[in-house]
Chain A
Amino acid sequence: MRGEKIHPISFELLSKGREIAEKTDGEVCTVVLGDRVERNVCLEFIHYGADKVFFFNSPLFSQPNVLNFKHNLVRLIKEEEPDIILIGATHFGKTLAPRVAAALKTGLTADCIDLQLDEKCDLVQIRPAFTGNILAHIKTRTKPVMSTIRYKVMNAGMRDLGRKGEIIEKHAEAPKDRGVNFIGRESSKKLNIADAEIIVSGGRGLGSAEGFKLLKELADLLGGVVGSSRTPVDEGWISKEHQVGFSGNTVKPRLYIACGISGSSQHLAGMKDSGMIIAINTDPSAPIFKVADYGIVGDLYQTIPLLIKEIKAQKEGKN
């Protein structure tokens, strides 16, 4: 963790760690590096499955300063000699983990979506590559085995208030390496599209920023949010936080409606695991139709107003 909040991915990693520990007769440790962290936070990790919590509390961790985190994490890893280290594949996790792996001369597997133990009890790390087109099964022959894990691919465990564990307070040390100064911070994303259950996305076929008004109307009606492929963001029709795809956000909503999106590999990599996919596009050969459950070959400006009208009629009928 970093800063004042625990990222929910921590509990997902913890539950996977617990599962591996049960099968291998091992133990699970959580490392908390934060500034002015309450001891209760550490207790929470024990309730969710940690046997030990290593707890660093220092202003060194008030900013995402990788060098401070790396220095203390590497020290701890050398002392404790764990077999496996799991780190969330958040921006910060992905900034920190390779630095730690390089320092420890060990292998690191990025963006895992599953971890399994094979018959030899080796950890098999499963990760997408080639813009989501393949799944590679990777083994590490050095110790510790290190993986970053994608958010929301593993389930958090159950909270058990009766669980016991040990909280070990550690002294944080400032590294000699410097060269990075934090000047400012601005909360960026107002919209967290990765957590949305329903997304109505628009692409090049919208033709202009105006088109998003129509999509917004549909999204509001369904209780969802508006997404976008790369083109509208590049054209300045909509802001970056709406972007779904390999260079934007990976999403997994219950319903994804793609309007005027052809479906490049780039875009598909970000949404192809959605629950139900509906595509509206004028080009019947558009790749988006290959991943769609339902597709309408037609003009979105003709189709969506009709869809909105029908949904409204349905809702009124119910009331």
Chain B
Amino acid sequence: MVKIIVLIKQVPDIEKVRFDVEAGRIDRTSAPAEINPFDLNALEAAVQIKEKLGGYVLALSMGPPMASSSLRDAISRGADEALLLEDRIFAGADTWATSYTLAGAIKKIGAYDIILCGEKTVDGDTGQVGAEVAEHLNIPHVYYVSKIVDVTEKSIVVISEMDDASYTIESTFPTLVSFTKDVNKPRLPTLKDKLRAMKSEVKVWHASDLEGFIDMKNVGYVGSPTNVHKVIIPQGRYREGKIFKNINEGLAGVLGALKDKRLI
């Protein structure tokens, strides 16, 4: 029996999302929302651990009410239960305030062995929340895990990619692990799984539910030590943009450019 918590974030589909260059704004309505792709690997790892040892997988997220659709998706992919931390005062949180709030909820949940997450998200792209959650909970963490070597009811042995080397590390429970995409191939939910998930309930905790576990001045925008002052949508550097539909002309163009730049 292993009690597993998977941290999930709902993000826009990054291949479809559009950016308003003039206003420096992300048009979130331009793309469907989905589970952060890196989190799918964490969820798959959780389900595999459960299949091996028995146990229980809780998908935990903080976000707006619409994030419950991603949590339902997590249920269809094998989570037993889903919990959404949703409150207007949680909005605008940076990684510190987000991890503080998640850790507060995990303290209230109480019993867990291992917390799993993706190495980063495709929107915020910081990779900080996992390690900050671990620090708030005063438990160890292992990052950039590309392989689970072994897992028992007491500990997990993993390969962690650290720059120029891979380390084999054993971490005793409770612990937090973040995964790279190499760890597994997330399975696709069947139609039956999806139907079951549609009927399942996503539990919601508001700020008031976390009273005694979090200090309200540490959450959301107000509790965030960092603020975004400006967003710029870079146009990218100037490109020649010479696209040839005729191969011979293309070759001539490419060779000329390579010679000009002394690359050949």
Contacts and interface: CB of A to CB of B under 8 A. Distances in A.
Interface of A: 7, 63-64, 66-67, 70, 90-92, 94-95, 97-99, 101-103, 105-111, 124, 128-131, 133-142, 177-189, 198, 222, 234, 240, 246-247, 254-255, 264-266, 272-273, 275-278, 284, 289-298, 302-303, 306-307, 310-311, 314-315
B132 A99 contact: yes
Contacts of A315: 264
B125 A247 contact: no
Interface secondary structure of A, over-half rule:
mixed
Contacts of B124: 129
Interface secondary structure of B, over-half rule:
mixed
B123 interface: yes
A91 B257 contact: no
B148 to A, nearest CB: 13
B131 A95 contact: yes
Nearest to A95: B143
Contact of B231 (A101, A107, A135, A265): A135
Contacts of A141: 225-227
Contacts of B163: 7, 90-92
A290 B242 CA distance: 10
Contacts of B136: 102
Given A92-B162, A135-B234, A284 B245 contact: yes
A75 to B, nearest CB: 15
B142 A180 contact: yes
Contacts of B258: 255, 311
Contact of B242 (A95, A128, A240, A294): A294
A247 B144 CA distance: 11
15 contacts: A66-B131, A95-B141, A131-B122, A139-B226, A141-B227, A178-B140, A182-B167, A184-B167, A222-B264, A246-B122, A276-B257, A289-B241, A292-B239, A294-B257, A306-B247
Given A141-B227, A278-B257, 9 more contacts: A91-B143, A94-B127, A110-B125, A110-B128, A133-B19, A138-B226, A185-B168, A295-B243, A297-B243
Interface of B: 14-15, 17, 19, 24, 26, 38, 94-96, 99, 122-132, 134-136, 138-144, 157, 161-172, 175, 180-182, 185, 224-234, 236-237, 239-245, 247, 250-251, 253-255, 257-259, 261, 263-264
A297 B124 CA distance: 35
A128 B144 CA distance: 20
A139 to B, nearest CB: 5
B9 to A, nearest CB: 13
A142 B169 CA distance: 34
A193 B241 CA distance: 25
B240 A293 contact: yes
